[in-house]
A and B are shown apart, each in its own frame.
Chain A
Amino acid sequence: MAMNFLMTVFLLIFSTVSVAQPTQVETREPPKFSPAKEHKPIAKPKAYQRVAILSILLKYEKGEVVGAELMHSKRVASVAPKVFVRKMGDWQVTIGNNQKASFFVNDPGFLEAENRPGDKIPYHYVSRGNEVEWNLIVPLYKDGEALDAPTVTIKRVKDGKMILHTKI
């Protein structure tokens, strides 16, 4: 066990040293991982780090969304998923009246299904039916600050159709 420990520490220290390479392949230093003394527990959510968990019932006809209803919502302390990096998509979700606090999602009415092994096309889309329960996680903070988020608005991008505007 002690030998394993020493070997591990040695290799981890060594792993942070870049080594000259004889080939032309570009090299990069690996990220610094703190496995030993410096290892710290994951930070607990700060006071501003909260999300709203929305349960939305969507209604579809012929593959088009025709209705949406917020079934319930809950605010919890949590780090948020990085949804703000998604700059385009089928639907736009806007938090409060802040156009900068918006992100994009795919149409929840469809699943991406694997095709048969051997097919040249990897996937196809499958309708989830006329009623779809959709769980949407909405960040209640951005750039280290809490968002004023009394409402959420969801619009379809291609035509601006209002899908849902609701208090949360």
Chain B
Amino acid sequence: MRQSYFIYSVFFLCVALGTSACTLNVDVSEDDEPVSGSSIYELFVIQRDMDDAFNILFVPDASYGNLSNLANRQAFVDDLTNAIENSYWQNQGYYFNLGRYNYYYSLDPGSVVERSPDADGNFRCPTVTWPTSINTDGAFADATILIHTNELRDCATPSTGRATAEPTSYRTIVHETSHALFGLPDEYCCDSSYSANEPVLYGSEAACLNDPVTAAWRNCVSFTSARNGSVWWRSEGDITSSAIMLSAGNTVWEFGPADWEIMEEAYLSFPGASSAGTPTVFAPDNWDRP
């Protein structure tokens, strides 16, 4: 019965990556069963062995209502599939490797509540409450994203792979997931927690200039951290706009070639992996999924 349910539950259509759009529809059912603990369900799982994939977990906020109600759960799942298509699948580093991603969701809600500025008018991050169940049941997750419907300025915790986002904050979903999964560094200047992260960021000009990995395309350009005055050399100096770890705006930008070096190594680290889906478009060029 469980198998026959699933025949109908996931509609994943994909003719060819690159020239056709993959679409994803998931119908929830009262026959669904949790896959971890009592609250975590699979959304779209390609790799049945979780060690063969990056596992991304979505958590609802309370605005979706009680997710034991199927209509509420379907509304949340619809937001998630839309987010997957328009965030991860709008970026070739993810889309061309979509077989390396499993997606899950929690029924237990968290909350993200906006805070007023401090006495000096400085922005304060929202108050975020995570459901305690994900601390253990969601320990497997490489990235955990709390989806909330109230609009506000989100804050992420790169050290734990947890972030919050509106369901349509596509760029932020990809940016923060890229920190969590690959440890990619921020490339915007000048207020981040910078550290050497080669072949993107180097601690010296010599290190940047002498890295054979980047010889074909590098343009080492320095910038100074506003936080502590440290100087960093970025190999992707030619890319000054329109990159996912660099740029603002509503667009889900592409990765630069240095980012891809790190991502490709990660993809190739999976058991039995012999190749990865190399992007055909790199920042600052943009790509729209057909």
Question: Could you list which residues of chain A lie within 8 angstroms of chain B, going by C-beta atoms?
Answer: 1, 4-5, 8-9, 11-12, 14-15, 17-19, 21, 23, 25-37, 39-43, 49, 51, 53, 63, 74, 76, 78-82, 84-90, 104-108, 110-116, 118-126, 134-137, 144, 157-158
Contacts of A144 in B (CB 8 A): 271
Determine the distance from Cα of A9 to Cα of B51 in the docked complex, in whole angstroms: 28
> How many Å from the CB of A34 to the closest CB on chain B?
8
Contacts of B142 in A (CB 8 A): 81-82
Report which of B160, B172, B186 forms a contact with A108, defined as CB distance below 8 A: B160
Closest CB pairs A-B (n = 5): A31-B99, A86-B183, A30-B14, A108-B159, A122-B248
B17–A28 contact, CB under 8 A? yes
A30-B99, A114-B155, A126-B123 given as contacts; is B19 within 8 A of A53 (CB)? no
Residue of A nearest to B100 (CB): A31
A27–B136 contact, CB under 8 A? no
> How many Å from the CB of B226 to the closest CB on chain A?
9
Looking at chain A's contact residues, the main secondary structure is loop
Residues of B163-215 at the interface with A, using a CB-CB cut-off of 8 Å, are 171-172, 175-176, 179, 181-183, 186, 188-189, 191-193, 195-198
B269–A37 contact, CB under 8 A? no
Determine the distance from Cα of A8 to Cα of B4 in the docked complex, in whole angstroms: 13
A87-B262, A90-B193, A113-B123 given as contacts; is B159 within 8 A of A30 (CB)? no
Residue of B nearest to A105 (CB): B159
> How many Å from the CB of A37 to the closest CB on chain B?
7
Q: List 16 A-B contacts (CB under 8 A).
A: A5-B8, A19-B15, A27-B18, A30-B14, A30-B16, A36-B3, A79-B140, A80-B51, A82-B54, A82-B181, A89-B197, A105-B159, A110-B193, A111-B155, A113-B123, A124-B192
> How many Å from the CB of A13 to the closest CB on chain B?
11
B35–A42 contact, CB under 8 A? yes
A30–B22 contact, CB under 8 A? yes
B86 interfacial by beta-carbon distance below 8 Å: no
Looking at chain B's contact residues, the main secondary structure is loop
Contacts of A78 in B (CB 8 A): 36, 136, 139-140
Determine the distance from Cα of A119 to Cα of B189 in the docked complex, in whole angstroms: 13
Contacts of A113 in B (CB 8 A): 123, 125, 153-155
Residue of B nearest to A40 (CB): B48
B159–A15 contact, CB under 8 A? no
B113 interfacial by beta-carbon distance below 8 Å: no
Determine the distance from Cα of A29 to Cα of B98 in the docked complex, in whole angstroms: 11
Residue of A nearest to B250 (CB): A117
B50–A43 contact, CB under 8 A? yes
Residue of A nearest to B262 (CB): A87
Contacts of A110 in B (CB 8 A): 158, 193
B179–A81 contact, CB under 8 A? no
Determine the distance from Cα of A33 to Cα of B123 in the docked complex, in whole angstroms: 44
> How many Å from the CB of A111 to the closest CB on chain B?
4
Determine the distance from Cα of A159 to Cα of B249 in the docked complex, in whole angstroms: 36
Report which of A23, A30, A63, A89 forms a contact with B195, defined as CB distance below 8 A: A89
Determine the distance from Cα of A17 to Cα of B87 in the docked complex, in whole angstroms: 25
Residue of A nearest to B203 (CB): A158
